[in-house]
Structure 1
Amino acid sequence: MSYNEIKQRLRGSIAPVVTPFDAEGNIDFETMKNLINWQIESGSHGISVTGTSGEPSSLTTEERKQVMELAKKTVNGRVPFVPATGSTNHDETLELTKFAQEIGADAAMVIVPYYNRPSQHALYKHFKAVADSVDIPIIIYNIPGRTAVNLEVKTMARLVEDCPNIIGAKESNKDFEHVNRVLLHCGRDFLLFSGIELLCYPMLAIGGAGSISATANVEPAKVAELHDAWFEGDIKRAQDLHFELMELNDILFAETNPGPVKAALGMMGKITPKLRLPLDLPAEELQERIRQTLQKYGLLEKVKN
């Protein structure tokens, strides 16, 4: 499949699925299968794993590979599969991105390395080396709030010009001027995904391809419906869903993702609500607010007693 053909498929709500753990903190692979199947049945247009919502820095390299492989088999071609393969370690990023190609991923999402705070020149060299190491498409993941460095527009445009398989970016960037300039300088056919929940709809309005939103873990059907409505030309419905989801978005990001998301999924009976330290579930006061919000959205009605 050509890069252009893949670009046509990578649209809409790409759900960044959490990594479920059992009570002892081991990966719960059976629950992972159930989550992925639920996402696809709910209308999500694609599946991603081991991104921010998947706690990649709490997983070993081998565990990340195990999650990626299980997810690829579970998706089974029903929707595009875009695992996150980036790390603060260059060699590990290369290893995981090559593994994504080996198992047949449709694309790999590679985060700007966190903690190191590399220069723009170093970022260019890092991403070019990753892109050159594989034939599958690369989606750059720019999230300056968690990496402490912003991949500048000119650097991204240079990468797009020099690396044909860099086809898009997930921008978790609250600077909407920056996001506009990404499309201006990288090309209007560049796949731009929002990673900021309140910018998912505005991103579509400027020509974005969709979103990779943690809220899709909890309310996949409505997040997917927002995109479906937009692409079908029902702008009023898309706007309504944008505002309808706002309160849920806010509560799910009241603390660092994926703590509130996993608390919510636990209340919904989807997972054992467990994170690996140094991340943890929210305190009880916030959990109660999450519970009340889920009740307002009708998300606790189907929980088995």
Structure 2
Amino acid sequence: MYFGRLLTAMITPMTECGAIDWPRVDSVIEHLIQNGTESIVVAGTTGESPTLSHEEKLELFRYTVRQAKGRVKVIAGTGSNNTDVSRQLTREAEEIGVDGVMLVVPYYNKPTQEGLYQHFKTVALSTSLPVMLYNIPGRSAVNMNADTMVRLTHDVENISAIKESSGDLVQVMELVDRKRKDVAVYSGMDELVVPYLSAGSIGVVSVASHVIGREMKEMIEAFVHGNVDEAGKLQRRFIPLIQALFMTSSPAPLKNALAAMEICEEHVRLPIVPLNQAEKTYLQTILQSLQIIH
């Protein structure tokens, strides 16, 4: 399945007491669709998945499918560091009617490459949905190497995409060169979209697209249509914003930016905490300099 070029790893809006803010979930979905997102990843790490309950994840899947109304694809974040739990959540997500699932490299366990292969194969074979693998060594403490990713794409038919967030462009090029031909590789790093496109990826699973969705899409389209200089200019222009969105634990900076844009509140769940005043001032200065807020 083709998920598009601009995918967004959606936040989970919260109320002050820590409950899911459903009206704001609707606002965020509409905002993303109106600003160029082609597929929405629900309950990924940007959505604070480690602090969402099983039932909350299922309800987020149901709600997003219902609100999207087929206008964008819905990809359910069903990965965890527990293979059986991921398999069960994936089956339930398929019953709900999502368009695909994203499976993150198991965090904390630090599995071997063979352990990663067996984990992903086991979960992917439990569903008929398209599966996106998610390699993020900065959060999972282990890198899924190109050999393992390539092996999975050739051995498991419904693995159809990879979100690659190692930042290792040599690994990305090796993956692109050796993977099954119909598997799409996405950048998982907003600050490296253009370099990843140069290495052979087709797009990005973005966080910054909550704030600069149209600009991210313009960047990708410029590159695809051969205007590499313009794509590079856009990438460089937004580096300060992208870095600010990750200056402390994500998604706290992003939620603060969206609060400044009056899209949702900045509330997060522990152990994530809101920005302090200095961080808020710094982020808002950048937002103002880019004329995102006034």
TM over 0.5: yes
Aligned pair partner of 1:211 in 204, 210, 216:
204
Match of 1:101 in 2: 94
**Correspondent of 2:275 among 259, 274, 282:** 282
Shift of 1:188: 4.6
CA distance in 2 between counterparts of 1:218 and 1:99 reads 31
Question: How far apart are 1:234 and its partner, in Å?
Answer: 3.1
Partner of 2:248: 255
Match in the other structure for 1:136: 129
Residue 32 (structure 1) aligned with residue 38 (structure 2): no
**1:158 maps to which residue?**
151
- The answer on 1:179 being equivalent to 2:172 is yes
Deviations 1:116-170 (A, max 9, x none): 1111111111111111100111110000010001111111111111100011210
Number of positions where the alignment pairs a residue of Structure 1 with one of Structure 2: 294
Residues 189-213 of structure 1: CA distance to partner in whole angstroms, max 9, x if unpaired? 4211111122111111222121011
Partners of 1:264 and 1:133 lie apart in 2 by: 38
Distance 1:237 1:98 in 2: 43
Q: What's the CA shift string for 1:183-239, capped at 9, x where partnerless? A: 122145421111112211111122212101111122211112212222333333322
Residue identity matched to 1:267: A
Please state whether the residue corresponding to 1:124 is helix, strand or coil. Answer: helix
Unaligned runs of 5+ in 2: none
SS in 2 for 1:110: strand
Show the counterpart of 1:3.
Answer: none
- Which sections of structure 1, spanning at least 5 residues, go unmatched? 1-5
Matched, 1:112 2:94: no
Say what the alpha-carbon RMSD is for the aligned residues: 1.3
Structure 2 CA distance for aligned equivalents of residues 79 and 255 of structure 1: 30
Choose which of 238, 241, 255 in structure 1 pairs with 2:234. 241
2:142 to 145, 149, 169: 149
8 Å Cα contact 1:16-1:213 kept in structure 2:
yes
TM-score of the aligned structures, taking structure 2 as reference length: 0.96
> What is the match of residue 297 of structure 1?
290
CA distance in 1: counterparts of 2:269 and 2:61, whole angstroms = 19
Equivalent residue in structure 1 for 2:221, among 228, 233, 236: 228
